[in-house]
């Protein structure tokens, strides 16, 4: 089969392009200097390494952002004299009322400052008054209706207690906000210390306040699972530490090992020594198939569970990254040559069938 001059020139251009790419790809690149090795602290240097069958109790929890605290207002009695506010709840007992319309129970002060006593008795404005003044105002309201009313008024609930009770996020500045009562620094404190700090802060507004403090969400103490992606990018997963996780529990959080992962696993644990790391090798086959707990270590705050990549898959990915551009260029080149060959000769000359020349 003979080639036309157009086909020969197209093939010659393709050969020239491949030779140019091959020549440009053989240049020598100077490698950057290797980083200095990091000193590793051997496992034997640790007096005790907790694992599945010999776990340890974590230190007393220290509050940090962004933990979420639960605060309950057990006793919040305002300092005297207290002036009533909207949404405060009053305990009102009145003797001598109509039998079918008693006044007895807890009544909430409405947003306008009024307390509703019922259809027969109307409403009384009590916001801004003390308890004695509110009792006198209710007595005056009932005198035109009842013959000899006897009124008792007490404070059942303070509306400001709703601002104190509930869930409170520890902000980036290390404080919790208590509504109109300001903010209290709690960062670096234990639960008992935070309780004392909040009660001390509220003592400026209440008489011997008492609150209960607990941790609702442990958001500041974390461990990490790092998976190498065999050349396709690493994965990082972040989970809170509850004090009972092991390596097996951690890997179960990500549904086991991926296809690109190997069975080479270790824990990188932060140390106080500058430039040193503590590495705890994990024997995956032993802790899964043989139920050996010696390397199923307990997870501590700050641990990095590192899952190495499969070297063969990483090599295949690296080769694919190198050859993919050349395969794409070759595909375009062959497509161009095929197109030029198809529309050359008789097609350009007389519009005939290109297959008639073969």
CA distance 321 to 31: 19
Q: 39-58+221-311, what's its fold?
A: Outer membrane lipoprotein wza fold like (3.10.560)
Decide: 119 and 107 in contact? Cβ < 8 Å.
no
Tens of pLDDT, residue by residue over 137-192, are 999 999 999 988 999 999 888 876 777 889 999 999 999 999 888 999 999 999 99
pLDDT of residue 34: 52
Retrieve residue 8's tokens: 């020969």
Tens of pLDDT, residue by residue over 25-67, are 444 444 445 545 444 444 444 457 899 999 999 999 999 999 9
Specify the 3-state DSSP secondary structure of 3.
Answer: coil
Residues carrying CATH 3.10.560.10, the chain: 39-58+221-311
Q: 89-157, what's its fold?
A: wza like fold (3.30.1950)
Residues carrying CATH 3.30.1950.10, the chain: 68-77+161-217, 89-157
Return all residues near 12 (Cβ < 8 A) that are at least 6 apart: none
Classify strands 150-157 and 123-125 as parallel, antiparallel or unpaired.
unpaired
Class of domain 68-77+161-217: alpha beta
């Amino acid at each position: 089969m003979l080639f036309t001059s157009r086909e020969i020139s197209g093939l010659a251009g393709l050969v020239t392009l491949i030779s140019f790419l091959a020549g440009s790809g053989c240049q020598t690149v100077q490698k950057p200097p290797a980083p200095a090795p990091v000193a590793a602290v051997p496992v034997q240097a640790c007096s005790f390494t907790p694992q599945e069958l010999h776990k340890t109790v974590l230190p007393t929890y220290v509050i940090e952002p962004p933990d979420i605290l639960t605060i309950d207002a057990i006793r919040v009695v305002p300092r005297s004299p207290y002036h009533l506010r909207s949404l405060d709840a009053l305990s009102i007992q009145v003797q001598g009322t109509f039998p079918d319309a008693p006044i007895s129970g807890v009544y909430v002060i409405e947003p306008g400052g009024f307390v509703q006593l019922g259809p027969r008795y109307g409403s009384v404005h009590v916001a801004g008054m003390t308890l004695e003044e509110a009792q006198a105002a209710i007595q005056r309201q009932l005198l035109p209706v009842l013959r000899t009313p006897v009124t008792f008024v007490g404070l059942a609930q303070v509306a400001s207690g709703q601002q104190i009770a509930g869930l409170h996020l520890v902000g980036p500045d290390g404080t919790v906000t208590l509504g109109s009562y300001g903010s209290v620094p709690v960062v670096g404190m234990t639960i008992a210390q935070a309780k004392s700090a909040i009660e001390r802060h509220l003592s400026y507004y209440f008489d011997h306040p008492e609150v209960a403090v607990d941790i609702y969400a442990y958001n500041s103490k974390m461990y990490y699972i790092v998976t190498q992606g065999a050349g396709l990018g690493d994965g990082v997963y972040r989970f809170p530490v509850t004090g009972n996780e092991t390596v097996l529990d951690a890997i179960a959080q990500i549904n086991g090992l991926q296809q690109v992962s190997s069975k080479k696993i270790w824990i990188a644990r932060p140390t106080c020594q500058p430039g040193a790391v503590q590495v705890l090798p994990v024997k995956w086959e032993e802790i899964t198939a043989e139920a050996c707990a010696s390397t199923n270590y307990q997870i501590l705050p700050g641990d990095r569970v590192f899952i190495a990549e499969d070297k063969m898959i990483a090599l295949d990915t690296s080769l694919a990254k190198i050859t993919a551009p050349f395969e794409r260029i070759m595909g375009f080149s062959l497509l161009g040559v095929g197109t030029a060959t198809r529309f050359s000769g008789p097609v350009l000359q007389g519009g005939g069938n290109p297959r008639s020349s073969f």
